[in-house]
């Protein structure tokens, strides 16, 4: 069985992430979307909230499972018997960082390969940070986020007193 893992912080999941999930689900028999801990980021949503957002957005993809892990990605992949890491790239700057991580992962487990998937053109400008910034200003989020989670994101921004309007 071909198994891949699409790891990320997904704070929150964007339409760009969803595009990578859709395309990856076509290539693999099983795709795990895994909410990981990124020590460089302070997430707005906790891991359980992010998992639930993703589950609601990917319900139509029967071969996609959504989980979270605080383990090293390589260890998580070994537990799942996955051999491929999916990494979406919006720009060349994304590649520099992700290539370095791919080499580290391969050093830890030579059987793991990284598949770099370029973003679809219409999503290259979308990031979770940009979506949250638009939410703070009360802008329309339908071109940034899956419709299933927009109201939740707005509620969280409002409840945290983060709105600028």
Q: Which residues are catalytic?
A: 17, 41, 90, 128
Task: Measure the CA–CA gap between 49 and 108, rounded to whole angstroms.
Answer: 30
The total of other beta-carbon atoms located within 10 Å of residue 59's CB is: 11
Question: What whole-number distance in Å separates Cα of residue 22 and Cα of residue 144?
Answer: 16
Question: Taking the mean position of all CA atoms in its chain, how far away is CA 131?
Answer: 13
Angle of CA points 21, 147, 38, to nearest 5°? 50
Question: Cβ–Cβ contacts within 10 Å for residue 117, how many?
Answer: 16
Angle at which helix 150-159 crosses helix 128-136, to 10 degrees, equals 60
């Amino acid at each position: 069985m071909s198994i891949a893992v699409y790891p990320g912080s997904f704070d929150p999941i964007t339409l760009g992430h969803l595009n990578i999930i859709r395309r990856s689900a076509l290539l693999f028999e099983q795709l795990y979307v895994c909410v990981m801990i990124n020590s460089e980021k302070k997430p707005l949503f906790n891991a359980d909230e992010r998992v639930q957002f993703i589950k609601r957005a990917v319900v139509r993809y029967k071969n996609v499972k959504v989980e979270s892990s605080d383990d090293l990605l390589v260890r998580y992949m070994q537990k799942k018997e996955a051999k491929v890491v999916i990494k979406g790239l919006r720009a060349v700057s994304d590649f520099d960082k992700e290539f370095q991580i791919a080499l580290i992962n391969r050093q830890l487990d030579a059987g793991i390969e990284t598949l770099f998937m370029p973003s679809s053109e219409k999503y290259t400008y979308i990031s979770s940070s940009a979506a949250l910034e638009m939410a703070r200003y009360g802008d329309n989020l339908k071109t940034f986020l899956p419709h299933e989670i927009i109201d939740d994101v707005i509620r969280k921004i409002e409840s945290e007193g983060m709105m600028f309007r």
